[in-house]
């Protein structure tokens, strides 16, 4: 695999390109076809929402996009890299340097400060302490929580915890942010705040975003809404069509 610098220097128009991607679990009569020939591109700086009923393949697609799983067949290009050809260690390297993750459940360390939670990805990278702290403070400032940097996760509201989780996801300056039901545990007011924050990060920092959601109001923030049904893309709406 090319070095992280080589990937980052790519001039490809697409950050993600899936071509004929399938994912099958099991074999024979018991085989479950989670994805059935998916073609999808995500442009640099684009924000897409992925929707569909339970069992439609949303989680499988996110796992493949996040390099947590590989296609059974088809091609996944992340910029110039054929992801399905990488071994586990190289996929982990790609995740560490170019992907950010935001989950419905926040996944913060409850008794650890917001600052320490945010700097964790940089700790795993082996970055020196002062560089980690500076980057973590900048990420917390970007989500409006710098003043809360010494508060533990347990001392923060749900909306604040999700902001910390987003700061943790962007502290590495990812090329692609994967958000899995990021507003699922929040009330409507906090949900709107989180979506406005994601939109700002997308537009001002150029971070590409792929978000799974069940909520049409949240999906409307995206440039495109991709509807999955039975492992296939059934429909794609652009913002003007969805509004």
What's the pLDDT score for residue 8? Answer: 47
Q: CA 199 to CA 239: how far, in whole Å? A: 13
> Among 73, 65, 52, which residue's Cα sits nearest to residue 91?
65
**Between 114-125 and 88-98, two packed helices, what is the crossing angle to 10 degrees?**
140
DSSP 84: G
DSSP 204: H
What's the pLDDT score for residue 80? Answer: 86
pLDDT tens digits for range 196-223? 999 999 999 999 999 999 999 999 999 9
pLDDT tens digits for range 82-120? 999 999 999 999 998 999 999 888 899 999 999 999 999
What's the pLDDT score for residue 202? Answer: 96
Q: CA 164 to CA 95: how far, in whole Å? A: 19
Indicate the fold that domain 4-242 takes in CATH.
Answer: Rossmann fold (3.40.50)
pLDDT tens digits for range 15-60? 999 999 999 999 998 999 999 999 999 999 999 999 999 999 999 9
Supply φ then ψ for residue 180, to 5 degrees.
-105, 105
Supply φ then ψ for residue 18, to 5 degrees.
-105, 130
What's the pLDDT score for residue 12? Answer: 59
- Contact of 94 with 67, CB cutoff 8 Å: yes
Name beta bridge partners: 179. 102, 211
CB-CB neighbours of 33 under 10 Å? 17
What's the pLDDT score for residue 240? Answer: 60
């Amino acid at each position: 695999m090319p070095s992280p610098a080589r990937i980052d220097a790519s001039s490809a128009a697409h950050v993600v390109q899936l071509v004929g991607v399938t994912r099958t679990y099991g074999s024979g009569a018991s085989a479950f076809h989670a994805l059935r020939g998916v073609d999808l591109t995500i442009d640099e700086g684009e924000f897409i929402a992925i929707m569909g009923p339970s069992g439609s393949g949303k989680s499988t697609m996110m796992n493949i996009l996040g390099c947590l799983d590989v296609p059974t067949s088809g091609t996944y290009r992340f910029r110039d890299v054929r992801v399905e050809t990488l071994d586990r260690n190289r996929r982990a390297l790609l995740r560490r340097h170019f992907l950010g993750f935001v989950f419905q459940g926040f996944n913060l360390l409850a008794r650890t400060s917001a600052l320490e939670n945010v700097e964790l990805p940089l700790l795993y990278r082996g970055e020196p302490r002062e560089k980690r702290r500076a980057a973590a403070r900048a990420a917390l400032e970007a989500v409006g929580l710098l003043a809360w940097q010494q508060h533990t996760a347990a001392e923060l509201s749900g909306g604040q915890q999700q902001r910390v989780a987003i700061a943790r996801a962007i502290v590495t300056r990812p090329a692609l942010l994967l958000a899995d039901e990021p507003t699922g545990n929040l009330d409507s007011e906090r949900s709107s705040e989180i979506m406005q924050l994601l939109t700002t990060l997308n537009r001002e920092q150029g971070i590409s975003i792929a978000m799974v959601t069940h909520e049409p109001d949240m999906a409307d923030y995206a440039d495109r809404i991709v509807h999955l049904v039975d492992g296939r893309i059934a429909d794609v709406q652009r913002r003007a069509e969805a509004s």
